[in-house]
Structure 1
Amino acid sequence: MEAAAMRVIFLGVGEAFDEHLANTSLLAMPDSLDSDAVLLDCGFTAAAAFYLHAPAGLRADGLSAIAITHLHGDHFLGLPWLLHRLGEDGRTTRLTILGPDGAADAVPAAYELAYPGSYAKLPFPIVYTRSAPGVQLDMDQWRFRFAPSRHGLLNLAIRLEREGKVLCYSGDGAPSPESATLAKGADLLAQESYFLDIGSDPDGVTGHGSVERSIELARQAGAHRLALVHIARSVRHGRYDEIERMLNTAGDVHAFAPQPGCMCRI
């Protein structure tokens, strides 16, 4: 069996207002190390989930970067909590935050609202790096690529590569031609699947995807595994039997709906 290069932990898998599941957030790290990790999104409730599910040895200086897909609260407003806790836990090493236009202003502003006067006192430096459609960023052994999805606010899906392995994370939004291209050949595709079927929003005007559309995307992209995340709370908790039927009849697509704390090796 081919050796894994990356571990992916689903810290949270819920949508913005799901009281049972933390906001969707993924942690990627080298398979052999509890360090050099990348956090993908950190919403209102995801920061506490980081401390609940991340390896204990990672929690101070083991996080290398945080990548934000877009500036909706359920994808970045957990950062004041997380950054403050990292400081209290003794972090001293530089942290890189990657995000779209506005992130370098929004994160400090949110921090100052949460803890006035504290951002400048953080015991570790923060470096902001701008992500944009079509941009490729290399950081140590990580490679990031970005593409817009179909969402109400600019959302940049992320393709994260390490040692030939590929994690693709949608953030929010129905797939676009650009984000579909980004997903090609992914070892693991974590795709926002808010609705149950395409009929719930056939034209994608709401800026959200569906379970059915995600399965179709994974098949077309040749993704090895598909994780359904950010499912509407009414669907996840009220119609899960229908989700299971769709997963069981997905045919050649290896699809699943992860629980918080679920870990995949790729």
Structure 2
Amino acid sequence: MELYFLGTGAGMPSKERNVTSIALTLYDERGTMWLFDCGEGTQHQMLRSPLKASRLEFIFITHLHGDHIYGLPGLLTSRSNQGGTTPLVLFGPPGLESLLEPVLRLSQARLSYELTYREIHEGTVYEDDRFEIGCELLDHRIDSYGYRIVEKDKQGKLDASRLKELGVPAGPLYGRIKRGEIVELPDGTIVDGAACIGAPIPGKKIAILGDTRRCGAAVRLAAGADVLVHEATFDATLDELAQTYYHSTAKDAALTAASAGAKSLILTHISSRYQEDEVTRLLEDAREHFDDTHIARDHWSYTIG
């Protein structure tokens, strides 16, 4: 499971950073990829990356500002030309479908796959036997959501040494015991499968937030997360400006991570005023309050766990 940053800039692209788009690769878990936001030029960034649009399963949009959605028409149509045939689900705030459908219709875009829209509201937006994804409304100029991705706990490992002590012969009985069944051995010994399986393996927790000022919803979404991805548009000296434009400073992001008990923090959505080594100001601001902080850059990846 890996985060791959296709765009890490704020508002508009710069020479160093494209606008927001983050991929979560789940190749081992389900053979697919999820995308969070899709700013203008995302399809170009993907061409320069190891990612393939054909493997997209879900796209999650945090809010309807242009630097988070203007790349959708191009990416959706290019996916057809790049061999994408599997269904794609687009999650987003109210208004996303009415904004996007006229563009696809008037441009006579032909999609080779089924595209489904799912309008999000606070609460669980998707759940299966492996993952649960929820969202909450953040504090921004327009409705902006943060997502919490929770991988459900996995079954513990079979205690092979314990089975050997009990004299369980290798073969089909191992499978039954792994399912937690109670089995009887040829000599009459009763083995409780549940007692031969280790503790559940905790799943990973990830929080990916849209644009926001510091707020309680961000802390709840990031509670105990393995990694929090948080905007850091400004440095701490521009706190008043951040408040005025409903954005966060790097310090705000760090305080949120610390309050939430997150393990790692990744800063993104960086203003174009911070070019080259100037981004170290953001990192220094954040690390005063949260040590395990990283600053994302375009085409940088982070392995979770």
Question: Where on the TM-score scale, by shorter chain, does this alignment land: which range?
Answer: 0.7 to 0.9
Residue aligning to 1:16: 11
Matches within 5 A, 1:59-138: 59-60=53-54, 62-112=55-105, 116-118=107-109, 121-138=110-127
Provide structure 2 residue ranges, at least 5 long, that are not aligned to the other structure.
Answer: 153-202
Q: How does 1:35-74 map to 2 (within 5 A)?
A: 35-55=31-51, 58-60=52-54, 62-74=55-67
AA matched with 1:10: F
> 1:147/1:236 Cα in 2 relative to 1: closer, same or farther (>3 Å)?
farther
User: Aligned pair 1:172/2:211, yes or no?
Assistant: yes
Which aligned pairs between 1:142-153 and structure 2 lie closer than 5 A? 142-153=131-142
Percent identity (aligned): 25
Secondary structure, in 3 states, of the residue corresponding to 1:129?
strand
CA distance in 2, matches of 1:222, 1:192: 17
Indicate how the Cα distance of structure 1 residues 160 and 198 shifts in structure 2: closer, same or farther if over 3 A, else same.
farther
Q: 1:105 to 1:225 in 2, by over 3 A?
A: same
1:232 corresponds to: 271
- In structure 1, what is the Cα distance between the partners aligned to 2:50 and 2:96? 24
Contact kept, 8 Å, 1:79 with 1:111, in 2: the verdict is no
Picking from 2, 8, 14, the partner of 1:7 is 2
CA distance in 2 between partners of 1:210 and 1:46 (Å) = 25
Q: TM (normalized to structure 2)?
A: 0.76
In structure 2, the residue matched to 1:3 is none
1:41 positional shift: 0.4
Amino acid at match of 1:214: A
Per-residue CA deviation, residues 102-124 of structure 1 (Å, 9 max, x unaligned), is 112112233346xx122xx2111
TM-score, length-normalised on structure 1? 0.87
Amino acid at match of 2:264: R
Q: Please name the residue that 2:258 is paired with.
A: 219
Q: 2:299 aligns with which of 240, 257, 261?
A: 261
How many residue pairs get aligned? The number is 253
Counterpart of 2:160 in structure 1 is none
Please report how far the alpha carbon of residue 232 of structure 1 lies from its aligned counterpart in structure 2 after TM superposition. Answer: 1.1
Q: Does structure 2 retain, via aligned residues, the 8 Å contact 1:31–1:265? A: no
Larger radius of gyration: 2
CA contact (8 A) 1:247 1:256 kept: no
SS at match of 1:10: strand
Instruction: Name the Cα RMSD after superposition.
Output: 2.2
Select which of 245, 253, 257 maps to 2:284: 245
Give me the whole-angstrom Cα distance separating, in 1, the residues matched to 2:29 and 2:135.
26
